[in-house]
C-alpha cells in the first residue's frame, strides 16, 4: 500500500495584538513584527503562501493587504478601531476568533495546512482554530510572563496571572513550540514543563541586504550628527523592560569621570513609548534633565529599516541594556552594519552577541558597570575596531532564509505526525 503525500501550501499566521504592517519601535510593534514579515516573505520565496490575521485598528484599513505576492495581511474587526492596551485584548479574543473562522469558512475545506501563532493571545486563538480546522498548531512565545516576572525592572509591573495561565494552556495544547534560542527552549521546559520533543530551536535572522556595513561619515551626514562625535545608540521601544534609562545614567557617570567627554558625546535614542512606558512618555526627557545631560541626548522617532541602518552605521556602539530579550534583533541588525554591541548578558542576547568577538556582554544593570564597559571601549579604539570587524562576520550566520527553511521543517514535521503521511513543500 502506498501512502498518500500532503503538501505544505499555505500557513495561517496569527498575530492578534500587533500588525506586521506597524512601524517597529513604538506601541506594541517590535522585533516580533519584523520576525513575522521577514519569515513570511522567505516562506513565499519557497512557494508557501502566508495569510496573517491581525486585529483591525483603523476604519480605513482594507480587509486584505498584500505585502508581497504570496503574503497577505487580513484585518479582522474585533473591538474598537483603535490600539488597545494589551490588558484589554483578552476581551476581544472571541470576536477576533470569529473573524478568523469566518474567513476560513468562505473557502473550500483544507485552505490552510498549519497554524502559526505569535504571543500568548494569538496562541489562545490558534488553539480554538486548531480544534475547529483539525490542523497542527505551531506557537512562538516571543516573550514569556514567568521569565519577565523573574527579571522585572525597578518600577515595572509584573505580568498578570491570566497571562501566565494562558501561556501554560498554549504550551499544553500546541503541537510544536518554536524557541528563538537554546536558552529559551530551556526556559520553556523548566518553567512551563514543555515536553522536550515539542520544542524546536529556530534562530531569528537579519535582513542582510538592508543591514550591511557602509560609510559611517555618510550616515552621520544624512542624520545631522557631528563627524567626530562619540555616538552611543539605543534602538527600541521606550519602556522599563528595554532599560534605556541605564544608558542615560551610565552616560552621566562617564561625563562626571571625564568632563571633556561632554563636548563629544551623543546619546541617540531611536524609538517611541510602549507598554508600561506609555504611563510616562516623557521619561527620557525628564531623566536627561534630572541627570544634567540634556545637551548630549538626542531623541528620534521610530525609523524605517533603511534609515535605521544609517543610525547603526553612524554609531560607535549600540547599547542594548534590556532586562530580558527572547533574542534581540536590534543587536543583530547593528552587528550586520558593522557596529559592535554592548548588551546585557540576558536571554537571547547571549546568542545574538558573541562576547569579545562582535560585542561585549555586561552582567547586571548597575549604571556604573555600564559606564565602565562603555568608557573602556571609547578609550581603546583598536579594541572597538576589532569588534567592528567581527560584528558583520557574526551576523552573517543569521539570515531569514535559514530561519524560514528551518520553520518549514517544523511545519512539515508537525503535519506528518498529525496526518501520518509524508509532507512536501509546494516548490
Is 335 labeled as ligand-binding? no
Residue 256 marked ligand-binding: no
Q: How many residues make up the chain in this entry? A: 427
According to the annotation, is 28 in a ligand binding site?
yes
Instruction: Kindly compute the dihedral angle of the four CA atoms of residues 418, 421, 422, 423, in this order, to the nearest 10 degrees.
Output: -50
- Report the interhelical angle of 161-173 vs 120-133 (nearest 10°): 40
Is there a binding annotation on residue 9? no
313 in a labelled binding site: yes
110 has binding-site annotation: no
Is 29 one of the annotated binding-site residues?
A: yes
Bridge partners of 320? 343
Q: 43 and 407 in contact (C-beta within 8 Å)? A: yes
Find out whether 312 is annotated in a ligand binding site.
Answer: yes
Count of other CB atoms within 10 angstroms of residue 389 = 14
| 23 assigned ligand-binding residue | yes
- Establish whether 31 is an annotated binding residue: yes
Question: Measured between alpha carbons, how far is 150 from 351 in angstroms, rounded to an integer?
Answer: 20
Cα–Cα distance between 174 and 137 in angstroms, integer? Answer: 5
- Which helix (H) or strand (E) segment holds residue 270: the answer is strand 265-270
Contact call for residues 239 and 203 (beta carbons, < 8 A):
no
3-state secondary structure of 363: coil
Phi and psi, residue 148, nearest 5°: -60, -40
Annotated binding-site residue? 242:
yes
Residue 49 in marked binding region: no
**Other CB atoms within 10 A of residue 6 CB:** 17
Neighbours of 3 (CB within 10 A): 9
Q: And the C-alpha cell for 198?
A: 515539542
Which candidate, 179, 214, 216, 211, places its Cα nearest to that of 194? Answer: 179
The DSSP letter of residue 399 is B
240 is in an annotated binding site: no
163 assigned to a ligand binding site: yes
User: Which of 204, 121, 131, 135 is closest to 170 using CA atoms?
Assistant: 121
Instruction: For residue 107, say whether it is annotated as part of any ligand binding site.
Output: no
- 81 in a known ligand binding site: no
Q: Which helix (H) or strand (E) holds 102?
A: helix 93-105
Extract the C-alpha cell encoding 219. 550616515
Give the separation between CA 173 and CA 115, rounded to whole angstroms. 13
Q: Is 415 annotated as a binding residue?
A: no
- Whether residue 35 is annotated as binding a ligand: the answer is no
221 is in an annotated binding site: no
Annotated binding site: 17, 23-24, 28-33, 86, 119, 143, 163, 237, 242, 312-313, 315, 325, 333, 339
- Residue ranges for the binding site for UDP-N-acetyl-alpha-D-glucosamine? 23-24, 31, 237, 242, 325, 333
Instruction: Give binding residues for Mg(2+) as ranges.
Output: 312-313, 315, 339
Residues of each annotated binding site for 1D-myo-inositol 3-phosphate: 17, 28-33, 86, 119, 143, 163
Amino acid at each position: 500500500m502506498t501512502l498518500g503525500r500532503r503538501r505544505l501550501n499555505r500557513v495561517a499566521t496569527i498575530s492578534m495584538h500587533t500588525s506586521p504592517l506597524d512601524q517597529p519601535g513604538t506601541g506594541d510593534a517590535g522585533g516580533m513584527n519584523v520576525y513575522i514579515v521577514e519569515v513570511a516573505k522567505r516562506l513565499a520565496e519557497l512557494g508557501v503562501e502566508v495569510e496573517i490575521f491581525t486585529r483591525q485598528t483603523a476604519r480605513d484599513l482594507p480587509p486584505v493587504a498584500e505585502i508581497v505576492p504570496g503574503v497577505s495581511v487580513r484585518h479582522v474587526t474585533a473591538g474598537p478601531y483603535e490600539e488597545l492596551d494589551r490588558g484589554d485584548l483578552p476581551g476581544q479574543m472571541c470576536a477576533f476568533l470569529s473573524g478568523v473562522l469566518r474567513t476560513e469558512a468562505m473557502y473550500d475545506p483544507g485552505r490552510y495546512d498549519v497554524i502559526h501563532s505569535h504571543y500568548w493571545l494569538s496562541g489562545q486563538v490558534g488553539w480554538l482554530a486548531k480544534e475547529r480546522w483539525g490542523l497542527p498548531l505551531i506557537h512562538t512565545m516571543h516573550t514569556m510572563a514567568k521569565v519577565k516576572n523573574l527579571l522585572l525592572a525597578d518600577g515595572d509591573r509584573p505580568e498578570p496571572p491570566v497571562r501566565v495561565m494562558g501561556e501554560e494552556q498554549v504550551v499544553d495544547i500546541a503541537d510544536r513550540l518554536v524557541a528563538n534560542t537554546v536558552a529559551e527552549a530551556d526556559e520553556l521546559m523548566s518553567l512551563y514543563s514543555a515536553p522536550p520533543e515539542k520544542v524546536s530551536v529556530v534562530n531569528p535572522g537579519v535582513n542582510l541586504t538592508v543591514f550591511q556595513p557602509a560609510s559611517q561619515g555618510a550616515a552621520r551626514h544624512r542624520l545631522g550628527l557631528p563627524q567626530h562625535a562619540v555616538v552611543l545608540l539605543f534602538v527600541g521601544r521606550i519602556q522599563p523592560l528595554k532599560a534605556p534609562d541605564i544608558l542615560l545614567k551610565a552616560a552621566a557617570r562617564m561625563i562626571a569621570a571625564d568632563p571633556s567627554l561632554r563636548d563629544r558625546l551623543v546619546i541617540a535614542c531611536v524609538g517611541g513609548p510602549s507598554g508600561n512606558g506609555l504611563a510616562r512618555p516623557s521619561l527620557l526627557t525628564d531623566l536627561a534633565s534630572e541627570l544634567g545631560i540634556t545637551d548630549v541626548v538626542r531623541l528620534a522617532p521610530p525609523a524605517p529599516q533603511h534609515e535605521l541602518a544609517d543610525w547603526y552605521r553612524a554609531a560607535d556602539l549600540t547599547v542594548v541594556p534590556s532586562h530580558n530579550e527572547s533574542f534581540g534583533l536590534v543587536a543583530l541588525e547593528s552587528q550586520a552594519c558593522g557596529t559592535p554591541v554592548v548588551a546585557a548578558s540576558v536571554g537571547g542576547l547571549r546568542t545574538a552577541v558573541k562576547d569579545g568577538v562582535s560585542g561585549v556582554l555586561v552582567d547586571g544593570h548597575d549604571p556604573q558597570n555600564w559606564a565602565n564597559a562603555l568608557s573602556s571601549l571609547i578609550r581603546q579604539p583598536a579594541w572597538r575596531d576589532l569588534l567592528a570587524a567581527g560584528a558583520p562576520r557574526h551576523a552573517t550566520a543569521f539570515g531569514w532564509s535559514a530561519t524560514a527553511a528551518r520553520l518549514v521543517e517544523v511545519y512539515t514535521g508537525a503535519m506528518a505526525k498529525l496526518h501520518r503521511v509524508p509532507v512536501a513543500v509546494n516548490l
